[in-house]
Structure 1
């Protein structure tokens, strides 16, 4: 297992920033550099007014910034120096072309991969932190394989985040699980062990789940789809409660006490909220359609339909 001395994270947004600040705090012997092309964002990370607010984040940043945690726009040097490179850039929904309105646009992921291939030398472990469609790692590998550098070798891992706004720092310090996917080759398994070793500074080893790359990528989309499904489900029951005289909060509490169901994400609301759930469910629908799994795609399309319906009903003055 390789000894990790330096980590680089490309992307100083909501995922990359908090994730790497916690790694820096928990692994003081590792130098962590978060880089971004956005100078204003990096300037904010280096100031007293961070670009995002999360309870506890300021204290974590201040405990290690300038010691083993750095924020920079010098992306090339950070790539060259790093043993592990996290890719944590935006994957918006496509606005044109095949998959418009549903498929994830991987242009920023691809740009990162090309930059890594251009400037890196030696052995690198490249890690997907962004939410990506299944087999996105294969795109990264193809870009690396096209490099003519004889001295560049790499392993690509999937390590999706499972953060919730408002609890991100606690989620990172006390995760339900850390998911790492990689090749089932000897080299892939060694890379998984190396990344696992970073997290095991503070995460119990039994909470580090290792899978193949594709299972890890799909697990992130599936987790968000299942949570979105629960919200759509309770919103559909809310409509039923309204016409029967039942109280949706009482129903949610009653079913939430069943250990097989649990109480989380059973709060009737105006749609999903946030940006991730709908985006990821749409991406899952597109994936199913491209693989000719049309019945599965229709199932998840109904989750979106129920969500949009709850928003429309609320706009008409009806509480759902």
Structure 2
């Protein structure tokens, strides 16, 4: 819920938004220079909403001039309106709208283990809200929950506060890790489910007004609450299904000589199919897809629809098959033995541009490879702190099992002396194709205006549509300016206030210093995250690898023809190689 709260506050300066959590460390990090999660652009939004913004003047036309005392456009000073606190009861009691955004993982034991949703945290928070929420408050389900959870919420509220009226809404998130901020700023749709009563519709309209501050009204959909709850599960399940479908075809391609990328391109031009989610790989990860598919499986099974449940269960089975098949392919190509060999895993997060490692395929791959007793498994991820990754692997697999796992702060040390490099995440940094340089846009050429559409950061968004620029306008200009050649300032609009100082013994500052000393930095909260990522020097990597040099491309980011020139053998998902 942190990114959602940040964007809601960012877009509604007149609304006070408070994120509450009992986790003292998490709240401390939200109130510091070290947010607990990494998403491109998130830190800049948090800074404006949490710390406020300075009054500034900007040139209102496309220009090399950024900030000027005689600027044509004045940007008013902004007060802080985003707060983070551990006073859960106090802030719930004063809220008009309470959004419940807690973890709802898959149950690990008991009835429904392995498919049902574990509602422990959600139920506990609902009970807490029931005790302290003011009469008439609107309770909003943000967590992904089973269909008909709103009835559980209603029953809990009635039990704790009989006779007190609350309205319950469903407002699921449709975000993707790595692009969560853009997904919130420029959503395809906002879904609000409510009771079909006058008071339910008024509650939905109240929440709709919050989003209408920046989302075109035609993109805000209203349904009954059950449809909204189920739509979230179905959306994620359908996306997961497409990934498993193309991964099943990749196995056929490897046996027939067809190229899965060519097949995907051929079917993707059909408008009935489309080209989204047709990139073959080693399977999906993250906290949502598997959990939500299994939630749908459990729902079908418990409602006497076993055929429906089995249909969706195959989506998860195919996902695991894709990951395990590729891992076994690595072992087979290395003569079925890893003894005495070093294997490098590039990418530990489940997808690019995020530090989220939940359900990441890389962890299960490491677990399988360790059974072959390699000399070393090296890990590098450009968005994950190596100390955090090392501790996570140790906690999940055990300290003795992972003694041969080493996490590095840079890719070159990780790949040195490796017999095989396995690409487990599709980071642009890992690609070996040259970066295409787009032609620079003329300075005086304004960007085309498309309401609610993501702007092109390479095009100057000025002149703005309105005399007073919106927060999206200012953010688009910020992104455009920090990407300019020679731009070194992280605040070209001169709008940021100074961030709060950390204590001398701040563990995050200490960890950041240690990471920097080891050659690791994410660029979080800096202009660097908006600039094109520097590609790895594969010539340098190939020179230091041990023969026979193998690259196993699990994400389709490598041009095998270029690697062959370096004397490196390549195995890729969904295609045969004869190198």
Tell me if 1:283 matches 2:295.
yes
Between stretches 117-126 and 200-209, larger displacement belongs to: 117-126
Matched with 1:84 is 97
Matched with 1:259 is 271
| Residue from 124, 135, 157 that aligns with 1:111 | 124
- Would you say how many aligned residue pairs link Structure 1 and Structure 2? 304
The 1:253–1:147 alpha-carbon spacing in structure 2 relative to 1, beyond 3 Å, is same
1:207 Cα deviation from its structure 2 partner? 0.2
Matched with 2:224 is 212
Q: Which runs of 5 or more residues in structure 1 are unaligned?
A: 1-15
Matched with 2:284 is 272
Matched with 1:179 is 191
The 1:75–1:288 alpha-carbon spacing in structure 2 relative to 1, beyond 3 Å, is same
State how 1:104-143 maps to structure 2 within 5 Å.
104-143=117-156
The ranges of structure 1 where at least 4 consecutive aligned residues each deviate by more than 3 angstroms after the TM superposition are none
- Write the distance in 2 (CA, Å) between the matches of 1:200 and 1:119: 28
Tell me if 1:48 matches 2:60.
no
- Write the distance in 2 (CA, Å) between the matches of 1:275 and 1:148: 33
- Write the distance in 2 (CA, Å) between the matches of 1:157 and 1:105: 20
Deviations 1:124-180 (A, max 9, x none): 100000111101111011000112455x32111000001111111110010000000
- Write the distance in 1 (CA, Å) between the matches of 2:15 and 2:184: 17
Matched with 1:73 is 86
- Write the distance in 2 (CA, Å) between the matches of 1:174 and 1:235: 29
Tell me if 1:24 matches 2:9.
yes
1:64 Cα deviation from its structure 2 partner? 1.4
Matched with 1:307 is 319
Matched with 1:6 is none
RMSD: 1.1
- Write the distance in 1 (CA, Å) between the matches of 2:310 and 2:104: 23
Deviations 1:17-76 (A, max 9, x none): 000100001011100000101000000000011111111111100101041100000011
Aligned to 1:44, what secondary structure does the other structure show?
helix
- Write the distance in 2 (CA, Å) between the matches of 1:305 and 1:289: 17
- Write the distance in 1 (CA, Å) between the matches of 2:295 and 2:11: 34
- Write the distance in 2 (CA, Å) between the matches of 1:89 and 1:275: 12
Matched with 1:153 is 165
1:255 Cα deviation from its structure 2 partner? 1.1
- Write the distance in 2 (CA, Å) between the matches of 1:171 and 1:42: 24
The 1:86–1:257 alpha-carbon spacing in structure 2 relative to 1, beyond 3 Å, is same
The 1:313–1:107 alpha-carbon spacing in structure 2 relative to 1, beyond 3 Å, is same
8 Å contact kept, 2:130–2:161: no
Matched with 1:167 is 179
8 Å contact kept, 2:147–2:230: yes
- Write the distance in 1 (CA, Å) between the matches of 2:127 and 2:138: 15
8 Å contact kept, 2:95–2:133: no
Aligned to 1:89, what secondary structure does the other structure show?
coil
- Write the distance in 2 (CA, Å) between the matches of 1:113 and 1:265: 35
Tell me if 1:294 matches 2:279.
no
Where is the helix percentage greater, Structure 1 or Structure 2? 1
1:306 Cα deviation from its structure 2 partner? 1.3
- Write the distance in 2 (CA, Å) between the matches of 1:270 and 1:62: 36
1:120 Cα deviation from its structure 2 partner? 2.2
- Write the distance in 2 (CA, Å) between the matches of 1:52 and 1:170: 15
Matched with 1:8 is none
Q: Which runs of 5 or more residues in structure 2 are unaligned?
A: 52-79, 331-572, 575-579
- Write the distance in 2 (CA, Å) between the matches of 1:149 and 1:253: 58
- Write the distance in 2 (CA, Å) between the matches of 1:274 and 1:304: 13
- Write the distance in 2 (CA, Å) between the matches of 1:55 and 1:272: 20
Output the TM-score relative to the length of structure 2: 0.52
